[in-house]
A and B are shown apart, each in its own frame.
Chain A
Amino acid sequence: MMLQIIDLAFILEKLILIVVVISASLVIAMYTTFAERKVAAILQDRRGPNRAGPFGMLQPLADGLKLFFKEEIIPDFSSKFLFILGPALAMMTAMMTSAVIPWGDVIEIAGRKVSLQIADIDVGILYVFGVVSLGVYGIMIGSWASNNKFSLLGGLRAASQIISYELAMGISMISLLLITGNLSLKQMVLQQQHGFYNVVYQPLGFLIFLICAFAECNRTPFDLPEAENELIGGYHTEYSSMKLGFFLFSEYINMFVSSVIMSTLFFGGYDIPFINEAAMFSTNVLAIVGVVALMIKVAIFIFIFMWVRWTIPRFRYDQLMHLGWRILIPLALFNMLATGALSLWMK
């Protein structure tokens, strides 16, 4: 058998990049749980976790250990394989999106240019959509395999919610694509480095995208699938130990990834606003500064996610559907038509 000759250094650099990106998203998601508790505490005029380590910094570790050491219960009336597959899928789809995100510009190691993006594929943004649309399977399969009415209701709610909001999200995306004329995330960032950020051209599109991102991540005010006062625990009622942890954790990874996507699409990704950084730094420093800039933008988005969660109460289910189908979709369609007309007129 003759396999194609593959560039060993290429494989190695991608492998290292994948490991770094995955572990970085895990650690960031871990500390997002901590940040959520702190933000909640500040908004409610409390102190929040402050016992484990300095300023409570070790709290996420303690939480993780606690989840690991809990007894693991798989109900004997559930279908076992699917019961385990559910949280595994939720975790996997949450992490898969990070493959097409440009985390920074190139760095140079021993004369070799290494791009800080795992895969710059032609259809980057569509790939993101594909993975997002698969994200619901973890919840649906897990909820069905639990063989519990509350779980099933939670799963069904998640499915219909995500399908409904995907439509508005897709249409708001089309109007962005009308402006950029490109599906590759890297190209979008490069375009935004010269000239204004996309949010200037697409304020309404960004707003619709933001609301839909909240719904896709199952965050309050759209956390109907796990509405505890109606459905006990929603889709994860039967889950315990680290499987529950996977479900909860994948929500935070989703939040992180969708913040990155929004920063990349609408706020210039790893570009630093207002200055021409390419003239100021050498290649490697530039890449690192770019990653830091992206992370600051992401942190702001994550804070907005939390701010909304601890400020706005949950919707009723019919209000949720009304918002998705009767308000967001017509708005997105209007936005698309207006963008199309304007770009024709400007040409």
Chain B
Amino acid sequence: MNITTLLFILLSVMAVGSAVMMITSKSPVHSVLWLIVVFFAISGHYILLNAQFLAIVNIIVYAGAIMVLFLFVVMLMNLNAETEPVKNYRLQLVGVLSGGALLLIIITALNKMDVEMPIELKTGDTGLIKVLGLNLFKNYVLPFEISSVLFLSAMIGAVVIGKKD
């Protein structure tokens, strides 16, 4: 067992453990904090795959921006274990059904995955910023630009909505 395997096991335990804690903790604020730990563990996995750019962007976008927004909303609404509404039976049933459907899809996808393809640990250069940039701007330039315009319009939309009059 070398250090990569050790780190992989550590990060996986961290990711799954925090995910379970996120679901089971009573307070929404604690759930959000556990979710942040999950994102860190996933970023650690990216680093093990030598995808530094993806790892750091995952931190910036998910842990740094989206989760701050989640935490913001949860804190603003002051959701606590005591104030949480009692979920009715029908809601729980729908939750179980949709969760089960998602699980089914994930299992099918994992079954179909080509396990023969070797995973490049620490050596692959696919995730390095130069390779990624060339790939994005040569092979996938149209989807990349379209999504950029989408983000830009979302940002301008926020400015327009924030305009007071």
A4 CB contacts on chain B under 8 angstroms: 2-3
A316 CB, min distance to chain B CBs, angstroms: 13
**Complex Cα spacing A135 to B121, Å:** 31
Q: Does B128 contact A (CB under 8 A)?
A: yes
The contact of B76 among A123, A156, A183, by CB within 8 Å, is: A156
Which of A130, A136, A137, A183 has the most CB atoms of chain B within a 10 A radius of its CB? Answer: A130
The contact of A326 among B52, B76, B159, by CB within 8 Å, is: B159
A166 CB contacts on chain B under 8 angstroms: 64-65
CB atoms of A122 and B158 under 8 A apart: no
Interface window among B53-61, B83-91, B108-116: B53-61
The number of residues on chain A lying at the interface, defined by a beta carbon within 8 Å of a beta carbon of chain B, is: 35
CB atoms of B64 and A159 under 8 A apart: no
Residues of B64-92 whose CB lies within 8 A of A: 64-65, 68-69, 71-72, 75-76, 78
The contact of A183 among B2, B29, B129, B158, by CB within 8 Å, is: B129
A137 CB contacts on chain B under 8 angstroms: 36, 68, 71
A34 CB, min distance to chain B CBs, angstroms: 32
Q: Does A307 contact B (CB under 8 A)?
A: no
**Complex Cα spacing A167 to B72, Å:** 17
CB atoms of B68 and A325 under 8 A apart: no
A122-B52, A123-B129, A326-B159 as given contacts; A130 in contact with B75, CB under 8 Å: no
B163 CB contacts on chain A under 8 angstroms: 326
Q: Does A343 contact B (CB under 8 A)?
A: no
A3-B2, A321-B162 as given contacts; A126 in contact with B56, CB under 8 Å: yes
A123-B56, A130-B56 as given contacts; A155 in contact with B75, CB under 8 Å: yes
CB atoms of B60 and A2 under 8 A apart: no
A129 CB contacts on chain B under 8 angstroms: 56, 60, 64
A329 CB contacts on chain B under 8 angstroms: 155, 159
**Complex Cα spacing A329 to B151, Å:** 14
**Complex Cα spacing A268 to B105, Å:** 52
Residues of A75-103 whose CB lies within 8 A of B: 82
Q: Does A280 contact B (CB under 8 A)?
A: no
A326 CB contacts on chain B under 8 angstroms: 159, 162-163
The number of residues on chain B lying at the interface, defined by a beta carbon within 8 Å of a beta carbon of chain A, is: 30
CB atoms of B52 and A123 under 8 A apart: yes
CB atoms of B56 and A140 under 8 A apart: no
**Complex Cα spacing A130 to B129, Å:** 16
**Complex Cα spacing A200 to B128, Å:** 30
Q: Does A144 contact B (CB under 8 A)?
A: yes
B162 CB contacts on chain A under 8 angstroms: 321, 325-326
Q: Does B14 contact A (CB under 8 A)?
A: no
B72 CB contacts on chain A under 8 angstroms: 140, 156, 159-160
B129 CB contacts on chain A under 8 angstroms: 122-123, 183
B67 CB, min distance to chain A CBs, angstroms: 8
Q: Does A261 contact B (CB under 8 A)?
A: no
CB atoms of B68 and A140 under 8 A apart: yes
Q: What residue in chain B is nearest A2 (Cβ atoms)?
A: B2
**Complex Cα spacing A330 to B159, Å:** 10
Q: What residue in chain B is nearest A4 (Cβ atoms)?
A: B3
The contact of B128 among A122, A144, A156, by CB within 8 Å, is: A122
A130 CB contacts on chain B under 8 angstroms: 56, 59-60, 63-64
A82 CB contacts on chain B under 8 angstroms: 29, 33
A residues contacting B by CB (< 8 A) are 1-4, 82, 121-123, 126-127, 129-130, 132-134, 136-137, 140-141, 144, 152, 155-156, 159-160, 162-163, 166-167, 183, 321, 325-326, 329-330
Q: Which 8 A-B pairs have the closest CB atoms?
A: A133-B64, A130-B59, A126-B56, A130-B60, A159-B72, A325-B159, A123-B52, A123-B56
